[in-house]
Every structure is written in C-alpha cells, then in structure tokens.
Copies of this chain bind each other. A is one copy, B any other.
Amino acid sequence: MTVISHQSIRQALLGRIQSGEWALGSRIPGETDLATEYGCARTTVNRALQALADEGLVVRKRKGGTRVCHMPVRQAKFEIPILREQVGAAGCDYSHRLVSNKLKLPPPPVRSRLHIPAGEKAAHMQTIHYADSRPFAYEERWVNTQTVPEILTAPLDIISANEWLVKTVPFSSGDVAFSAVNANEKIATALETNVGAAIFVIDRTTWLDDAFITTMTLYYKEGYKLHSQL
C-alpha cells in the first residue's frame, strides 16, 4: 500500500464500526491485537484510535480498553465566516459602512459578558456590511476599551472593527451562539428588509486568557444559510 498506514488503519477501523461488526458500546480489540492483525506497530494503531476518539466515535479508558461510543453524537466543525471572504467567495464586492461609533455605558448584559466594572464606558459600534452595495449583514458590537484601548484610535471607517480586531488580537478564545429573531425596526432598516423578517443571528464573545475583548451580534440578511459538514 502506498497510502499512509495510520490513516488507512483509521479508515479500516471506521469501516468495521460503521458496518456494525463492532456494535454500539461494545469493546473492540486492544491496540496490541490490532497491531498484530494489521501488521504494524502499536504506536500506529494508537494514533488511529486516538483520531477516532477525537472525533467522538470511540471512547478509550485505561485498562478499560476502547469501546465504540454508544451514543454517537457526531460533531460538526465549521469555520466562523469572515464577512469579507464570505462575500468575496460569492463573487461580490465587499464594503462596509460604520453607522455609529460611540463611547458609552454598556447595558448590564453586555457589561457582565465583558466583565466591565459598573460606571465604566465601552466602545459601541454599528456596522453594515455590503455585498455589491446591497446590505448583507448588520453588526452591533461592544469593545472593552480597558483591554483594547487602541480601538479608540483605529480607523474603523477604513478597516472594519472585526478585521481590525482579528489583526490586532488574533487567536483569542470565544464562544458563539446561533439563533433566529424577527427583524425590528432598526435591523429591518439596516438590512433593507421588512420588520418581522426572520433573521439569522450569530452572537459572539471573545477573550484572551482573562481579558475580555469584545461581544458582537451579527444579523444576517434574510435567507442566509450557514453550511457545515459532519
């Protein structure tokens, strides 16, 4: 075989799981046995099994051995889209407009999400993102000026806050949430759609270690779909 052994073994094992040869929750042969069977080193089998474990297909326990996951929750992995790329990929021209950019007191939910002390202000900005000069998404963002004071002097009319943050504080951690809301007056106006339209929403908060950076809500033009494999 010219193929890579640990990957083809992973594939072989996956096949035996999918075919039902090893039932849900059942224990599969030990690494040593499999190594003998496939004629390779235990290391190689180990690597294949770890990969399957990472994907949530098997559960491994010391001494307990490896067993097929009895509750196969396949996990979907998808890339948080970057608007410019997303628009570009669709063959459209990307642009954005900073509607407002003020320093003011954040409402309690935002304050707690960004761990901002009471009475402290934060940067609030509203941006409309366009694809070929048609609104594509509306962004509402709060930035913690204690952790990222440089945002105050950034040229946000030229580079969007999102991109500025990606360049300035890349590799931050965060959490995301997806939901749907009916467009209110403000959203409908920004996206040039009707009040009440079903809008796909992404909420996102990011931080770096203990420093909370930004929280953002992104309202997509109606009809938007986010795709992913699993």
Contact = CB atoms under 8 A, between A and B. Distances in A.
A171 B18 contact: yes
A57 to B, nearest CB: 6
A115 to B, nearest CB: 18
Interface of A: 14, 17-18, 24, 56-57, 71-80, 82, 85, 166-167, 170-182, 196-201, 203, 208, 220, 222-230
Contacts of A201: 180
A76 B230 CA distance: 12
Nearest to A20: B170
A171 B57 CA distance: 8
B229 A175 contact: yes
Contacts of A222: 180
Contact of A17 (B171, B223, B224): B171
Nearest to A56: B79
Given A17-B171, A180-B222, 18 more contacts: A57-B171, A72-B171, A74-B79, A74-B80, A76-B77, A76-B78, A76-B80, A76-B176, A80-B230, A175-B228, A175-B229, A176-B230, A177-B227, A178-B200, A180-B220, A181-B198, A182-B197, A198-B198
Contacts of A176: 76, 227-230
Max chain B C-beta neighbours (<10 A), residue from A180, A198, A203, A208 = A180
A166 to B, nearest CB: 7
A29 B206 CA distance: 28
A17 B179 CA distance: 32
A72 B17 contact: no
Contacts of A226: 177-179
Given A78-B75, A208-B18, A180 B199 contact: yes
Contact of A74 (B18, B167, B171, B227): B171
B230 A175 contact: yes
